[in-house]
Amino acid sequence: MTPILAAGLLDPNFGLAIWILITFSLLLLLLWRFAWGPITSALDEREGTIQSSLEQAEKALAEAKMIQADNDKARREADVEAQRILREARDTAEALRSEEVEKTKTQLRQMQESAQAEIARERDSALDTLRSEVADLALQAAERVLGDSMNDDRQRKLVKDFLNDLPTN
């Protein structure tokens, strides 16, 4: 039995083939009309979405690269600015230090000059005092030697003349 049935399946049947062809054509027509359009439009829409996403990703990547470049540029500028500020601070500190050193030197010179002037005044004062005492001693000595023959005005004039003739050192 099995061989007979198998032989019937393999025999060509043209009526069945035509019906299968008509049914297949109708199925293709229905699929074309109702399924193929939505499927292709969905695929086109999906392709557009993917393309749009890719373009957005490329724009975001380009934007990120620009932002990174801007950040790098800003960082370099900040580094340059920081170096400039440090240089200015060092220069200012050096100028202040030099100014303070000059002020200190000036103060020391003034103190030295003031001390020298004070010393000169004290020396002159001591010399004046010494001259006065020497004059008094000379007058007393002359008075004893000569006696009372010279009056005070004449004696003072002689001593002054004598002191003026002496060297100032």
The Cα 100–Cα 108 span in angstroms is 12
Place of tokens 């005492």: 133
3-state secondary structure of 17: helix
Q: What is the pLDDT of residue 110?
A: 93
Nearby residues of 142 by Cβ (< 8 Å), 6 or more positions away: 150, 155, 158
CA dihedral sign of residues 26, 32, 33, 36: positive
The values of phi and psi at residue 147, to 5°, are 90, -150
Its pTM stands at 0.40
The H-or-E segment that residue 8 falls in is helix 2-9
Position 47 scores a pLDDT of 94
pLDDT confidence of residue 51: 95
Structure tokens at 150: 């010279």
Q: How far apart are CA 50 and CA 48, in angstroms?
A: 5
What are the 10-residue block averages of pLDDT along the chain, 169 residues in total?
Answer: 55 86 94 86 92 94 94 94 94 93 93 92 88 76 64 76 71
SS3 content of the chain, % helix, strand, coil (to 5): 90, 0, 10
- The full DSSP string for 28-89 is HHHIIIIIIHHHHHHHHHHHHHHHHHHHHHHHHHHHHHHHHHHHHHHHHHHHHHHHHHHHHH
Determine the Cα–Cα distance for residues 52 and 60; give it in Å rounded to an integer: 12
* Cα 82 from chain centre: 2
pLDDT at 147: 58
